[in-house]
Amino acid sequence: MGAVRIAIVGGSFGGLTAAYELCRHLSPERAEITLVAKDDEFRFVPSFPWVAMGRRRLEQISFPLAGPLVAKKVRFARATATHIDTGAKVVSTGADEHPYDFLVVATGHRSANEAVPGLGPFDGPGHSPMSAPEAEELARAIQRLLAEPGPVVVGAAPGASCIGPVYEVAFELDHLLRRRGLRHQVPMTFLTPEPYLGHMGMGGAGTIRQLLEGALEERDIGYRTSVAITRITDEAVETADAAPTPSVCSIVVPPLAGVEAVAASEGLTNPKGFVPVDDHYRHLHADGVYAVGVAVALPPVGETPVPVNFPKTGHMTEQMARLAAADLAARLGGRGTPTAELSARCILDMGDRAAYLAVDPVRPPRNRIPTVSEGRRWLLAKMAFERAYLGFARRGQLVPTAFGW
């Protein structure tokens, strides 16, 4: 029997973890693996808020994908997938076609900026840390704010799912402004669709709500919950519940959708462009297709007055990719694999310190009472994790234990 052809689309946490894990499970004689990614570099996305604050440059949190992949005999195609034909089992890019027996979709998100007029930065006056170009643009906006201080709104639009970084941006900006002696000139407001602080799309966790309430209050950051942002202009953020909040720098995270090429491929996604999967991260209908990470469709934990969607963190993405790779390799051997509920550990930067949060499983009810801890040591751990992850990943390895995120 010839080698099985595996195509992976996406070169971030989901795609790279899937590639490394598949290489661990399957020899090059057994599997011919091709990774298609539109960027030629891996970027450590959780550090985008640090790029925005001027604490990191992109090159400090990136490495070229080709080196470690080629060393593992994974073919690397730097290209944008434009279509996936799940019937013919082909991934098309503008230039090439990649036939597959198995496919792993790890294409992450598209910012659905059409959801709220004014979401930006490239569609409107708002700012966002959700991608590398957006984080760099936000860094420039923050430099302008330091030169000409004024009121700021940090928040999330209705339907957002990536809310942890919104808290990070608020705390980090507060910290930066204090260090520059400018905080008294910048009224800050935190606007969230969450029904209470720390809900984060997962129904809250332990005492994170109390921790975040106290932390925003002690830093004089005003906040409102269950807020539906309806429009962002150059001077203000408009909401359904109150008069516009003045803001010269509005950092508002959008709701997410699946990337265009995946969303437009017939039979692959739900209406939002996310891929429906079972417990093994196999597509519910399309043969041989897996999906991991932000590309996956995961339902919200429940109804909230303003919609908030389920989070998909880096740590969760890594677990999905490991489970999918193990399942794919086991299927080739005619075996099945057990699956596991997703847990999450994350470290939320609060400027001068950080909060550590561990939930198991992510979706309540939970067997374990979540761990919530705060201190400077967690900030040091977050920085150490970034260095460790990049160091391991650029050498073709993954961090042995998830101690950070």
Ligand X SMILES: Cc1cc2nc3c(=O)[nH]c(=O)nc-3n(C[C@H](O)[C@H](O)[C@H](O)COP(=O)(O)OP(=O)(O)OC[C@H]3O[C@@H](n4cnc5c(N)ncnc54)[C@H](O)[C@@H]3O)c2cc1C
Q: Does the footprint of ligand X cover residue 14 (CB under 6 A)?
A: yes
- Based on the residue annotation, tell me whether 249 is a catalytic residue of this protein: no
Alpha carbon of residue 353 to chain centroid: 22
Q: How many residues does the chain have?
A: 405
Contact between 190 and 225 under an 8 Å Cβ cutoff? The reply is: no
- The answer for residues whose C-beta is within 8 angstroms of residue 16's C-beta and 6 or more apart is 35, 42, 65, 393
Question: Is 71 exposed, middle or buried (CB count within 10 Å of its CB: 0-12, 13-18, 19+)?
Answer: exposed
Q: Does 11 bind ligand X (CB under 6 A)?
A: yes
Q: Contact at 8 Å (CB) between 33 and 23?
A: yes
What residues from 41 to 70 belong to the interface with ligand X (CB under 6 A)?
Answer: 45-46, 48-49
Integer Cα distance of 296 and 299 in angstroms? 10
98 binds ligand X (CB under 6 A): no
Q: Which of 317, 329, 350, 398 is in the footprint of ligand X by CB under 6 A?
A: 317
- Which residue of 37, 163, 252, 301 would you call a contact of ligand X, by CB under 6 A? 37
Decide if residue 288 touches ligand X (CB under 6 A). no
Catalytic, out of 346, 350, 354, 390: 346
- Binds ligand X by CB under 6 A, chosen from 24, 38, 272, 331: 38
Query: What is the C-alpha separation between 48 and 225, in angstroms, rounded?
Result: 25
Assess whether the previous peptide bond of 400 is cis (omega < 30° from 0): no
**Tokens found for residue 186:** 């910048």
Q: Is 346 a catalytic residue?
A: yes
- Least separation in angstroms between CB 201 and ligand X: 12
- Could you tell me if 120 and 128 are in contact, meaning their C-beta atoms sit under 8 angstroms apart? yes
The one segment of 104-112, 146-154, 181-189, 298-306 that binds ligand X by CB under 6 A: 104-112
- Our finding on whether 199 is near ligand X (CB under 6 A) is no
Calpha distance 152→156 (Å, rounded): 13
Residues in binding contact with ligand X, number by CB under 6 A: 38
Report the site for ligand X in 147-186 (rule: CB under 6 A): 162, 164-165
Q: Would you say 297 or 332 has its CB closer to ligand X?
A: 297
Q: Which of 162, 221, 320, 328 is catalytic?
A: 162
Catalytic positions are 162, 346
> By the criterion CB under 6 A, which residues form the site for ligand X?
9-15, 36-39, 45-46, 48-49, 80-81, 106-109, 129-130, 162, 164-165, 259, 261, 293-295, 312-315, 317, 346, 405
